Amino acid sequence: ARAEKGGHKHFMAKEIAEQPTVLGEALRHYVTDDGKTLTLPDGGIDFTGIDRISMVACGTAYYACLTAKYWVEQLAGLPVDVDIASEFRYREPPIAKGTLAMFVSQSGETADTLAALRYCKDRAARIVSVVNVPESTIARESDLALPILAGPEIGVASTKAFTCQLAVLAICALEAAAQRGRLDAGGLARHLDDLMTVPGRMNAALALENDITAAALDLAETEDVLFLGRGAMFALALEGALKLKEISYIHAEGYASGELKHGPIALVDQTVPVVVCAPYDMLFDKTVSNMQEVMARGGKVLLITDARGAAEAGSDTWRTLVMPEAPDPFAPILYAVPLQLLAYHTAVAKGTDVDQPRNLAKSVTVE
């Protein structure tokens, strides 16, 4: 049984470890050999003839969409709505002309996502899907299906599919920015260079496994964990919390750092670890001041940052994980790795069924 898990104890561990490889392959699928331009299948997407994007998904795929909203709005200046599929389908949202509808799904079979797709199709929107299974129903019913090329994902908790979804969505954001004249050829090539460095940096992030395991042994003793981030890191904080609750059954919540003072700070004491995801970027100082509010109330902070961030933040944290530097704005792809490992090792420490957590299914094909 270990053999099919590539020598790992669980499929989830194998799938986490595979990410540098599959992410590299996914990126190379969409980037031309010279590394300077993009190539999307079947004529690609016309981002010039639209005025907004509506993204719809469930679970981890929904958090990939929330992350991509930051990229598309920042890089391409195109407004993006993100919806949970089960909410979208019954809300009767108006689909304006000029809306591109995007559906993200690992399996391509999630019932609510498929129903949302059909809702948009009935209203004549152009349908693009981002899927791991090219022969899936969602892929077949789309005008264009973009494969994420993660390979089969067996662990119920999504890992490599998430980072590959992010890679394809990053490609879409860059393509939209280039088409809409917000990035010139040099700017595009620079961002592609940056993206192509992420798989290698992921190896360095995976090498932090021992430090992460040590933190996880403590997390396994707790009942509540908060995850904080700002900007696209807020979306990643939500995904980090989801990963932890899915497989370790510890209550976890993701929050936007700036929202801490509007409620969740009331939960903070020595028993509630707070995981802060903060690469040294434009928002770093703001996130660190939120982190200090936590520490002033006796909160235990696990700071995930890079060397510059660690130097700036000082040594009052409970633990600091020093990540490789991440290219802005694509840090969430890299920072997904420590959050996955943290959830994984916490679950292993608790002895839960990591690959088949209770009450959860890999693909939810009924409502």
Q: Give the residue numbers annotated as catalytic, written as ranges.
A: 362
- Of 31 and 57, the one with the shorter C-beta distance to ligand G6P is 57
Instruction: Based on the shown chain and the rule CB under 6 A, indicate whether residue 59 belongs to the binding site for ligand G6P.
Output: yes
Beta strands, E only, the chain: 52-57, 80-84, 99-105, 126-131, 144-147, 224-229, 251-256, 273-277, 300-306, 319-323
Q: Specify the pairing of strand 52-57 against strand 273-277.
A: unpaired
What 3-state class would DSSP assign to 38?
A: strand
- Of 133 and 334, the one with the shorter C-beta distance to ligand G6P is 133
Tell me, residue by residue from 165 to 204, as one string, x for binding to ligand G6P by CB under 6 A and - for no binding.
Answer: ----------------------------------------
Instruction: Based on the shown chain and the rule CB under 6 A, indicate whether residue 257 belongs to the binding site for ligand G6P.
Output: no
**Least distance to ligand G6P from the beta carbon of 140, Å?**
15
- Of 58 and 276, the one with the shorter C-beta distance to ligand G6P is 58
**Do residues 5 and 14 lie in contact, with contact meaning Cβ atoms separated by under 8 Å?**
yes
Instruction: Based on the shown chain and the rule CB under 6 A, indicate whether residue 61 belongs to the binding site for ligand G6P.
Output: yes
Distance (Å, rounded) from C-alpha 137 to C-alpha 266?
45
- Of 21 and 363, the one with the shorter C-beta distance to ligand G6P is 363
- Of 69 and 160, the one with the shorter C-beta distance to ligand G6P is 160
Binding range to ligand G6P, per CB under 6 A, among 67-75, 101-109, 122-130, 220-228: 101-109
Peptide bond into 357 cis (omega under 30): no
Which residue from 145, 144, 161, 85 is spatially nearest to 117, judged by alpha carbons? 85
Residue indicated by tokens 């200046």: 77
**Least distance to ligand G6P from the beta carbon of 100, Å?**
19
Among 35, 217, 360, 365, binds ligand G6P (CB under 6 A): 360
Among 19, 54, 60, 290, binds ligand G6P (CB under 6 A): 60
Distance of CA 182 to the CA centre of its chain: 24
Distance (Å, rounded) from C-alpha 77 to C-alpha 323?
30
Q: How many helices (H) and strands (E) does the chain have?
A: 13, 10
Instruction: Based on the shown chain and the rule CB under 6 A, indicate whether residue 142 belongs to the binding site for ligand G6P.
Output: no
306 strand-pairing partners: 323
Tokens (6 digits) for 324: 């490789």
**Do residues 262 and 234 lie in contact, with contact meaning Cβ atoms separated by under 8 Å?**
no
**Least distance to ligand G6P from the beta carbon of 85, Å?**
8
Q: Tell me, by CB under 6 A, how many residues bind ligand G6P.
A: 15
Instruction: Based on the shown chain and the rule CB under 6 A, indicate whether residue 158 belongs to the binding site for ligand G6P.
Output: yes
Instruction: Based on the shown chain and the rule CB under 6 A, indicate whether residue 147 belongs to the binding site for ligand G6P.
Output: no
Interface ranges with ligand G6P (CB under 6 A): 58-61, 105-107, 110, 113, 156, 158, 360, 362-364
